[in-house]
Structure 1
Amino acid sequence: MNIFDEIQHRLASKTRIRALFKDVHVEDIERIISRLEGILAEKKDAVAADEAKRQAKQENIDEVRRLLAERGLSLDDLDPTEEAAPKKRRNVQKFTFQYETNSGDTVTWHGSTTGRLPKDFQTYLDRTGKKRLDCVIED
């Protein structure tokens, strides 16, 4: 239990508050209460300011929606990126590779010059010291 939870637990019950402050002077309790009232006032002011900001923002949103409706527009009409720049697709060129396995079999494999390789092909490249493009065969 963190300290905030502990304080909240102690202050949540009148009986626990009495036990907590049983040996404290009246002046000290009054000072604590006045400080807590000051904190409460600050918190209420902050909440009211946040609510005013939220209300002003909502009014602006409602005004924009009203203007869009008057002109027959929607939010989708405001997004020019959809029409102006179509999504780019990754263009990976594929090749047919030929290599020999450890048992001496010749294997052809269709793939790209990037990414993972079949285990036998990787073993072949490590064994011979060749590059992938050295194993490309013409179709």
Structure 2
Amino acid sequence: MMNIFDELLHRLGSKTRIRSLFKDIGMDEMERIINRLSEVLEEKNQEKEAEDLKRKEKLQSVEEIKKVMEAKGLSMSDLNLFQEMGKEGKRKRNVSKHNFEYQTASGDTVRWYGSTTGRLPKDFQDYLDRTNKKRIDCIVDDE
């Protein structure tokens, strides 16, 4: 089953089918339809020209950048090298991890290894809420 756009393209794809489609339409109405189609075509042409102009400007910018890089003795691999160096230079967060000990609601003692920030196991969070303790109060010495 064809959708309406496929059907329209099929009908407008042949002069014979166009004649059949417009056999009961007056000339004035046909001229209005043709004018609308011409306006749509003109809009599409303008959009294409604008895209072509943008593409040409980008290409020109790329060529200018290549010339500057060549004059400075740089290559794309040099740029990639600097990007990689930048990644290494980023400061990493200092997250301290500890052994925590807490009791579940059923009275079991549990040891959990984790950090002083971030999400907690549900039982641990429940324990902190019940006892009004802070995480740091539950740190046990590493054995």
- For 1:11, give the aligned amino acid: L
1:62 matched to 2:63: yes
- For 1:99, give the aligned amino acid: Y
Given the two structures, how large is their TM-score scaled by the length of structure 2? Answer: 0.67
Change (3 A) 1:128 1:36: closer
Aligned residues: 139
1:111 matched to 2:114: yes
1:31 matched to 2:32: yes
Secondary structure in structure 2 of the residue aligned to 1:46: helix
Kindly report the root-mean-square deviation, in angstroms, between the aligned alpha carbons of the 2 structures. 3.5
Change (3 A) 1:28 1:103: closer
**Aligned mates of 1:59, 1:32 — CA distance in 2:** 41
What is the CA distance between 1:118 and its match in structure 2? 4.1
Secondary structure in structure 1 of the residue aligned to 2:113: strand
After TM superposition, the structure 1 stretch with the greater mean CA deviation from structure 2, 72-81 or 87-96, is: 72-81
**Aligned mates of 2:83, 2:98 — CA distance in 1:** 38
| Residues 124-135 of structure 1 aligned to structure 2 (within 5 Å) | 124-135=127-138
Percent identity of paired positions between Structure 1 and Structure 2 = 54
Given the two structures, how large is their TM-score scaled by the length of structure 1? Answer: 0.68
Partner of residue 42, structure 2: 41
- For 2:32, give the aligned amino acid: R
What is the CA distance between 1:84 and its match in structure 2? 9.5
What is the CA distance between 1:73 and its match in structure 2? 0.9
- For 2:90, give the aligned amino acid: K
What is the CA distance between 1:65 and its match in structure 2? 0.8
- For 1:29, give the aligned amino acid: M
- Which structure 1 segments of 5+ residues have no match? none
**Aligned mates of 1:20, 1:131 — CA distance in 2:** 80
1:90 matched to 2:93: yes
- Which structure 2 segments of 5+ residues have no match? none
Change (3 A) 1:41 1:128: closer
Change (3 A) 1:133 1:58: same
**Aligned mates of 2:110, 2:47 — CA distance in 1:** 73
